[in-house]
């Protein structure tokens, strides 16, 4: 959340920032109007309360003198009613203003490319790690079937379209990928492994920036008002809400596997075949709570941690610096990691590594205490997929297929899968 004082003092900077992210600036104008109304009401209430205090003192003096104070008491009663009415109006304005601020996105970092859509994203690097097959290759949909990895029809019968059922070696491969990534991040990269709830409260989901903007894209249990998490970022970011961390404790680094649930309500017409766009998928998530002055160095380290997964799996991938119009609601800067799927000639996003600066921390009241001044300040939060498995599996299958229909596995994955290849049935 952007601080109201900062908005007041930097109106045009905020306006340019939110417009570059695709948000109409009428919302900013509404916030500024509500802010003026609120401050005017507060000034009126304070003036009336001062008058009421003086009236109360005058009544007390009259009573000490044995004089009649009926008129003064009546006037003070009227003042109290006006104050009560103003206090309610102030409370309503506070609530309205807070709700409007929740819809205002984070501002993009100056280094993020300016642009309205993915065509303005900037490719930072391309890593050609894999030797592409030199024979007629099959796409992932064919490989799912011939290798018996995923049963989409059975998944649809169970839960509807977009809920894949991994079968046999497909389930085994999925588990191998998850365990490989968790071990890499926790044993080698210094993250603490957590296993969070797959449901989160409205407040926790609001902290990460999913709500209120993305509510229609989420699954919710109406009776309890709990949301199925779209990513483990939601519960991990909510861990330290309303807490004060010590400066020496930073950075805090967490890794977690979770199932992720997304309705994909705004994805009509997009690629929905196979595992490219599903309603439930698995992901290993990385979340950091860091010192504000180190957050952009920490972003580069986070990106490297996510890239290491793709390096170890020897996949061709590229790093993309997202333009302002392609940034998420809460992100100030974001790198996407995209793997190459040769059969379909597609670059598939498997990770987004983002710096939210203090945006999420302000929503969640997550602070640290500075040693030099003993003052409280907001931490910066970062998040990156480390990584999501569906498109990773697509790239893996298409890259490592063999002429006989089998799929060889990269060396790093063999100990987790238990065999060197997946052979056709």
Domain boundary among 68, 102, 136: 102
HSE-CB at 289 with a 13 A cutoff on CA atoms is 29
| 15 and 52 part of one domain | yes
Residue 111 falls inside a structural domain: no
Look at the chain and count its residues.
425
Closest C-alpha among 272, 290, 289 to residue 281: 272
| 244 and 325 part of one domain | yes
| 297 and 388 part of one domain | yes
| 125 and 219 part of one domain | yes
Cβ density class 217-233: b for 16+ within 10 Å, e for less: ebebeeeeebbbbbbbb
CATH number, residue 97 = 1.10.287.40
Residue 112 falls inside a structural domain: no
| 81 and 158 part of one domain | no
| 260 and 149 part of one domain | yes
Structural domain range at position 295:
118-422
| 97 and 225 part of one domain | no
Residue 107 falls inside a structural domain: no
Domain boundary among 73, 102, 131: 102
CA-to-CA distance for 414 and 411, rounded, in angstroms?
Answer: 5
CA-to-CA distance for 297 and 68, rounded, in angstroms?
Answer: 73
Contacts 24+ apart (CB under 8 A), 36-42: 37/93, 38/90, 38/93, 38/94, 38/97, 41/86, 41/89, 41/90, 41/93, 42/90
| 276 and 411 part of one domain | yes
**pLDDT in tens for each of the 425 residues of the chain?**
899 999 999 999 999 999 999 999 999 999 999 999 999 999 999 888 888 778 778 777 776 777 777 777 777 788 888 888 999 999 999 999 999 999 999 999 999 999 999 999 999 999 986 677 678 899 999 999 999 999 999 999 999 999 999 999 999 999 999 999 999 999 999 999 999 999 999 999 999 999 999 999 999 999 999 999 999 999 999 999 999 999 999 999 999 999 999 997 555 445 666 788 899 999 999 999 999 999 999 999 999 999 999 999 999 999 999 999 999 999 999 999 999 999 989 999 999 999 999 999 999 999 999 999 999 999 999 999 999 999 999 999 999 999 988 999 999 999 999 999 998 76
Give residue 326's pLDDT: 97
Residue 332 falls inside a structural domain: yes
Closest C-alpha among 206, 375, 382, 209 to residue 292: 382
Domain boundary among 53, 77, 102: 102
Residue 308 falls inside a structural domain: yes
Extended beta strands in 112-180, E state? 122-127, 150-151, 165-166
Residue 110 falls inside a structural domain: no
Residue 113 falls inside a structural domain: no
| 122 and 96 part of one domain | no
| 187 and 300 part of one domain | yes
Give residue 268's pLDDT: 46
The answer to whether the CB of 239 falls within 8 A of the CB of 360 is no
CATH number, residue 165 = 3.30.930.10
The answer to whether the CB of 416 falls within 8 A of the CB of 176 is yes
List residues bridging with 354 in a β-sheet. Answer: 334, 383
Give residue 267's pLDDT: 52
Can you give the pTM of this predicted structure?
0.92
CA-to-CA distance for 350 and 339, rounded, in angstroms?
Answer: 7
| 40 and 74 part of one domain | yes
Q: Name the residue with tokens 């598939």.
A: 348
């Amino acid at each position: 959340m952007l601080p109201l004082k900062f908005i007041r003092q930097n109106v045009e900077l905020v306006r340019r920032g939110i417009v570059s992210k695709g948000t109409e600036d009428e919302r900013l104008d509404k916030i500024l109007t509500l802010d003026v109304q609120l401050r005017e009401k507060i000034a009126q209430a304070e003036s009336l309360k001062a008058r009421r205090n003086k009236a109360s003192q005058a009544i007390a003096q009259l009573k000490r003198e044995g004089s009649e104070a009926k008129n003064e008491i009546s006037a003070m009663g009227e003042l109290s009613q006006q104050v009560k009415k103003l206090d309610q109006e102030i409370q309503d304005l506070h609530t309205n203003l807070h709700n409007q601020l929740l819809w205002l996105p984070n501002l993009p970092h100056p280094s993020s490319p300016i642009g309205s859509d993915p065509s303005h994203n900037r490719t930072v690097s391309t890593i050609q790690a894999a030797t592409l097959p030199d024979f007629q290759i099959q796409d992932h949909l064919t490989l799912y079937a011939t290798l018996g990895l995923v049963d989409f029809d059975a998944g649809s019968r169970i839960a509807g379209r977009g809920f894949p059922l991994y079968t046999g070696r497909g389930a085994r491969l999925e588990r191998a990928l998850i365990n490989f990534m968790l071990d890499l991040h926790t044993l080698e990269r210094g993250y603490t492994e957590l296993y969070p709830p797959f449901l989160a409260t409205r407040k926790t989901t609001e902290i990460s920036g999913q709500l209120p903007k993305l509510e229609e894209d989420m699954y919710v249990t109406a009776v309890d008002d709990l949301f199925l998490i779209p990513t483990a970022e939601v519960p991990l970011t909510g861990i330290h809400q309303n807490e004060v961390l010590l400066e020496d404790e930073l950075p805090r680094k967490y890794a977690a596997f979770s199932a992720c649930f997304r309705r994909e309500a705004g994805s009509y017409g997009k690629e929905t075949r196979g595992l490219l766009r599903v309603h439930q998928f698995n992901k290993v998530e990385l979340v950091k709570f860091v010192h504000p002055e180190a957050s952009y160095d920490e972003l580069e380290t986070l990106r490297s941690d996510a890239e290491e997964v793709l390096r170890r799996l020897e996949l061709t991938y590229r790093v993309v610096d997202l333009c302002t119009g392609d940034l998420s609601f809460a992100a100030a800067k974001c790198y996407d990691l995209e793997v190459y799927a040769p059969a379909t000639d597609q670059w598939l996003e498997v990770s987004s590594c983002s710096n939210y600066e203090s945006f999420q921390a302000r929503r969640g009241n997550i602070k640290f205490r500075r040693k030099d001044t003993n003052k409280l300040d907001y931490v910066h939060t970062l998040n990156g997929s480390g990584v999501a498995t569906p498109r990773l599996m697509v790239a893996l299958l298409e890259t490592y297929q063999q002429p006989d229909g089998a799929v060889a596995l990269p060396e790093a994955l063999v100990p987790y899968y238990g065999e060197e290849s997946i052979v056709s049935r």
